[in-house]
Amino acid sequence: MTDRPLTLMAVHAHPDDEATGTGGILARYAAEGIRTVLVTCTDGGCGDGPEGVKPGDPGHDPAAVTAMRRQELQASCDVLKISDLEMLDYADSGMMGWPSNDAPGAFWQTPVEEGAARLAELMRHYRPDVVVTYDENGFYGHPDHIQAHRITMAALEMTTLTPKVYWTTAPRSMMQRFGEVMREFAEDMPEPDPAEAAAMAKIGLPDDEITTWVDATAFSGQKFDALAAHASQGENIFFLKMGKERFGELMGVETFVRVRDTTGAAVPENDLFAGLR
């Protein structure tokens, strides 16, 4: 149809989000010969440090965390066979309400138009056929995820090149199974506080509102290994504890809501590139 490769662009907030949310599709589409472009918006400096030092604790050095996570991101990209990694290198804003939300250079403080203009440049360069990012709540309310959503949607408006656009989501049926597995593998974890539990309950969508189910179970080993590359981040350890097989059963199918389509492909669909090849 064209003289350039079919291209998938995933826009993520932090190093490791590419693996958790879209590791399956990135690995699967790379194996199908599709060019895969990952845009990571922040440096992940508010993540856990070496030896599990938490942000805000003494000895947490954002510069050291950033350097470590840059290497982890590269290792994850190698596992997932990502064609092109682009980093916008904004400072990680931390969780909602943290003082780092207001720090100079924080992604959350960056005007949407500025971030969008930089992302639009990348879109003009790669001309992605499919763009994937988060919904307007950033899937779970993290400011950098919300901001990644905002700059992506603004950049898409500026470029109008991309026929298919998706937001990551999770079916409620899966969230329920996820909760059960979590209790099984994380019995030493404290019960979530009510606010956290209420936030979790709002994540995802009823199954019949999901437009796109992509089976990447055959690539869940790569997804697991990509997450293992980010083992310094405490929240990933839960997934790794599950082991590859259980992980593949739970996390092998990735789901999306299609929010733009100019191809006319029917939904529900099982391929982000339906109508494009």
- Does 14 engage in binding with Zn ion (CB under 5 A)? yes
Of 13-21, 23-31, 71-79, 252-260, the segment contacting Zn ion by CB under 5 A is: 13-21
And the tokens for 62?
A: 């954002």
| Shortest CB 84 distance to Zn ion, Å | 20
CB atoms within 10 A of CB 130: 25
Closest distance of CB 17 from Zn ion, Å: 4
Taking CB under 5 A as the criterion, the residue among 10, 17, 24, 37 binding Zn ion is 17
User: How big is the CA angle at 228 (ends 226 and 231), to the nearest 5 degrees?
Assistant: 130
Q: Could you tell me the smallest distance in angstroms from the CB atom of residue 245 to Zn ion?
A: 26
> How far are the Cα atoms of 26, 28, 222 from residue 36, in angstroms, in the given order?
6, 10, 15
- Given 9, 10, 11, 13, the residue binding Zn ion (CB under 5 A): 13
- Binding of Zn ion by 135 (CB under 5 A): no
Shortest reach from residue 274's CB to Zn ion, in Å: 28
Tokens 């804003």 label which residue? Answer: 93
Total residues contacting Zn ion by CB under 5 A comes to 3
Nearest approach in angstroms of CB 142 to Zn ion is 6
Q: Which of 4, 7, 259 minimizes the C-alpha distance to 130?
A: 7
| Closest CB 138 distance from Zn ion, rounded Å | 8
Nearer to Zn ion, 25 or 34 (CB): 25
Distance from C-alpha of 100 to C-alpha of 5, rounded to nearest angstrom: 40
Closer residue to Zn ion, CB minimum distance, 140 or 178:
140
Task: Find the part of the chain contacting Zn ion (CB under 5 A) among 9-17, 54-62, 198-206, 247-255.
Answer: 9-17
User: Is residue 18 involved in binding Zn ion (CB under 5 A)?
Assistant: no
| Residues pairing with 213 in the sheet | 255
Cα separations in angstroms, 109 against 52, 90, 103, 243: 27, 10, 8, 38
Contact 205, 171 (CB under 8 A): yes
Token pair 């309310």: residue: 141
Judged by the rule CB under 5 A, the positions of this chain that interact with Zn ion are 13-14, 17
